[in-house]
Amino acid sequence: MATASAAVRRDWLVGYTMVAPVVLGSLAFVVLPLGMVVWYSLHEWNVLANTFTFVGAENYQRMASDPGLGDALLATVWFSIGLVVVNIALALLLAVLLNQKLPGTTTFRTFFFSPVVVSLVAWTIVWSFLLQADGGINGFLSVLGAEGPNWLRHPTTAMIAVVIVQVFKNVGLNMILFLAALQGVPEELQEAARLDGAGAWRRFRSITLPLISPTILLVSIITIVGSLEVFAQIDVLTGGGPGNSTTVLVYYLYQQAFRFNEFGYASALAVLLFLIVLVLTLLQWQSRKRWVFHEV
């Protein structure tokens, strides 16, 4: 009995020692900052004047009458929709193409994945040169006889440019996830369907898509949450402009805190962003039963 209890105690000790780093890390770097952000959001905090005054829900009430926030949310929606649709569609297409047993596929897989490991800021700076009025993209277009727009100076093309730069940066990661899922689709199911006379599209729709649906869910969540966190690309490429066309929520939050010294209001915006991410993720998680194969 004594031996058993000692063993239990040892297990207990080993177990808690193992989880201690992650628990302590989460407490220090996730839970505590989250709590502090909520606390700051209830204050007016002017760094220059060194004032920190409790204002209750004032920062939250201010959101309702802040036209800049409406514009930022709209820009965020456009950015997220553009990014999610283009990224997932392109990643799936590339994965399907590179899932063929053809020579050279490994080279192409490496090619499309390589931007993922490039420094984000370096990647964006290179694109900022390419996207200039007299940059590489328009130079290429002029060789083809077309005249490209001044990409980063018009609201619509600036948003398109930011989305495309982000898609090319991360599409490789999603492609690899889709590739792994595609390779897990049993060949015998495809074979059976083929014998039943199903064409390529029918097999893709009725066998491949349902079987990779857990990965589609995973990729959707990563991409949507990622789209809400975009900052460096906006800062480097457009600075939120032209006008406020690419001022997405995170960039707006940054402006409020670090440019306008409105740390209290920025904290309230951070809480709003947190809630948006939470709600979107929960919605997706709840909806999985309807369309994710493993959950049926």
Residue ranges in contact with other proteins by CB under 8 A = 26, 29-30, 32-34, 36-37, 40, 45-50, 52, 132-135, 150-154, 214, 217-218, 221-222, 225-226, 228-229, 239-244, 253, 255, 257-261, 263, 266-267, 270, 273-274, 277-278, 281, 285
Closest distance of CB 213 from other proteins, Å: 11
Q: In terms of CB distance, is 30 or 118 closer to other proteins?
A: 30
Q: In terms of CB distance, is 137 or 203 closer to other proteins?
A: 137
Q: In terms of CB distance, is 185 or 276 closer to other proteins?
A: 276
Closest distance of CB 116 from other proteins, Å: 16
Residue 53 β-bridge partners: 44
> Computed over its alpha carbons, how large is the radius of gyration of the chain?
24
Question: Are the C-beta atoms of 170 and 87 separated by less than 8 Å?
Answer: yes
Q: In terms of CB distance, is 183 or 206 closer to other proteins?
A: 183
Closest distance of CB 192 from other proteins, Å: 28
Closest distance of CB 30 from other proteins, Å: 5
